[in-house]
Amino acid sequence: MKRKVKRNARRTASANLVRSNKRKIDLVLKNLIVFAILFVLSLVLNMGSSKEIYINLFAIFSIIFGFLAVTFLIVFLIFVFMKALKK
């Protein structure tokens, strides 16, 4: 009885690399701008609110949107450095 030999698929090193192309950079920049605007808007609404429920709600929104804006800023900077180092 013959045994079938399984061949392992070899992946090249270039297939596993993360590439920064124009479409990804534009998408990250668009999301960064959207979440930065939402962060500023929630901060303004937090300061302008008089009821405590709205103050707490907009404070939570500002924390979430601020965290997402910082995350997209870090990703954007990584893509810009990758593009600069590629050249």
Give domain status of residue 74, yes or no: yes
pLDDT at 83: 87
Domain interval for residue 30: 22-86
- Rounded to whole angstroms, the Cα distance separating 69 from 39 reads 8
Residue 17: per-residue pLDDT = 63
Per residue of the chain (87 residues), what is the pLDDT tens digit? 667 766 665 555 555 566 768 889 999 999 999 999 999 999 999 999 999 999 999 999 999 999 999 999 999 999 999 888 887
What DSSP letter does each residue of the chain carry, written as one string? -PPPPPPPPPPPGGGG-----HHHHHHHHHHHHHHHHHHHHHHHHHHH--SHHHHHHHHHHHHHHHHHHHHHHHHHHHHHHHHHHH-
Residues whose CB is less than 8 angstroms from the CB of residue 31 and which lie 6 or more positions away in sequence, other chains included: 68, 72
Is residue 47 assigned to a domain? Answer: yes
Residue 11 lies in a domain: no
Please tell me the total count of domains within the chain.
1
Look at residue 13 and tell me if it is in a domain: no
